[in-house]
Amino acid sequence: MKKDFLTLKDYSKEEIKYLLDLSGKIKKDKNSYSKVLEGKNIAMLFDKHSTRTRLSFEAGINQLGGNSIYLDSKNLQISRGETYQDTAKVLSKYIDGLVIRTYSQEIVNIFAKYGTIPVINGLTDIYHPCQILADMLTLKEMELLNKDLKFTYVGDSNNVTNSLIIGFSKLGIDITIGCPQKYSPPEEIIKYARNQKEGSKLNLVYDPVKAVSDADVVYTDVWLSMGDEKNKQKLTDLKSFQVNYKLLKYSKEEVKVMHCLPAHRGQEITSEVLDGKNSIVLQQAENRLHAQKALLVYLYAD
């Protein structure tokens, strides 16, 4: 039976921990599992621009012995009306796996339902599970991924926020979301997290100072996601949630700052913080490669 990676909801606590352990082993030995994808072609179907997702998957597939094929939906028959169902069935005859970076989660679900090959969610408007695997790996490396962690995400609630909430609730680790009330996570994500049985707490805090108070880690992401660039009101609403050293003085002295990139310097985070001694952003970015290689090994190794 094929395995997919559509959202962290589908993965157990034990599976997530296994992926993180495997990611660490692969990071220590770049040449490990170098033949897992030998003779296999993995396509990447992208509707959105990408730097880290595309490069980390292409490099990872190559390092595991496979061949990557980049597909732009604008150049496929999808753009002329061919259904996703038909495309999924046809692609399954040619390739051995598919990474999708698109808008609607439903598109990813259709490919998984009608295709016979593993499907990986490289990003949708609702979820970004590959990013969160890399984030959790980064925290694990720093010996922070435990029940004592005070983790705060500040800013606009988006696909990264949703997947962070799901991942942390799966592991039983508390998470605080600091944002204006109208930019809170979707109710279905809040309910999902609070229905988990691992004992984690999801705290919604509408004051930026209270949100980051005594935090070990402060995480932020862009305020204007792709397709939302003209929303000037949001910039005004989120201004007090900018991650800068004035705000960070309320967190722990050795607070670690995370951002999944790309960053809009001067909006959600200042360059001073992004490039500063508290930043572990580049470690996050590097870990996309190792976490995704571990995912590919998990999906394809016998």
Instruction: Using alpha carbons, select from 246, 148, 163 the residue that is nearest to residue 201.
Output: 148
pLDDT tens-digit profile, the chain (302 residues)? 899 999 999 999 999 999 999 999 999 999 999 999 999 999 999 999 999 999 999 999 999 999 999 999 888 999 889 999 999 999 999 999 999 999 999 999 999 999 999 999 999 999 999 999 999 999 999 999 999 999 999 999 999 999 999 999 999 999 999 999 999 999 999 999 999 999 999 999 999 999 999 999 999 999 987 666 667 889 999 999 999 999 999 999 999 999 999 999 999 999 999 999 999 999 999 999 999 999 999 999 97
Instruction: Confirm if 145 and 173 have CB atoms less than 8 A apart.
Output: yes
Q: What is the dihedral of CA 162, 268, 281, 219, to 10 degrees?
A: -40
Portions of the chain given CATH number 3.40.50.1370? 8-128+285-300, 143-279
CA distances from 70 to 47, 66, 86, 167, 206 (A): 11, 13, 19, 28, 41
- Please name which of 36, 22, 25 lies closest in space to residue 65, comparing C-alpha atoms: 36
Euclidean distance between CA atoms 271 and 252, whole angstroms:
20
Q: Class of 143-279 per CATH?
A: alpha beta
| CA 22 from centroid of its chain's CA atoms | 17
Give the per-residue pLDDT at 230. Answer: 65
Phi, psi of 104 (to 5 degrees): -85, 135
pLDDT tens per residue, range 150-179: 999 999 999 999 999 999 999 999 999 999
Catalytic residue annotation:
101, 128, 131, 221, 260, 288
Report the chain's mean pLDDT, rounded to a whole number.
Answer: 96
Q: Where are the alpha helices (DSSP H) in 29-143?
A: 52-63, 84-94, 105-114, 129-141
3-state secondary structure of 253: coil
Superfamily in which the 8-128+285-300 domain is placed by CATH: Aspartate/ornithine carbamoyltransferase (3.40.50.1370)
Q: What digits encode the pLDDT tens for the residues 51-88?
A: 999 999 999 999 999 999 999 988 899 988 999 999 99
pTM over 0.75: yes
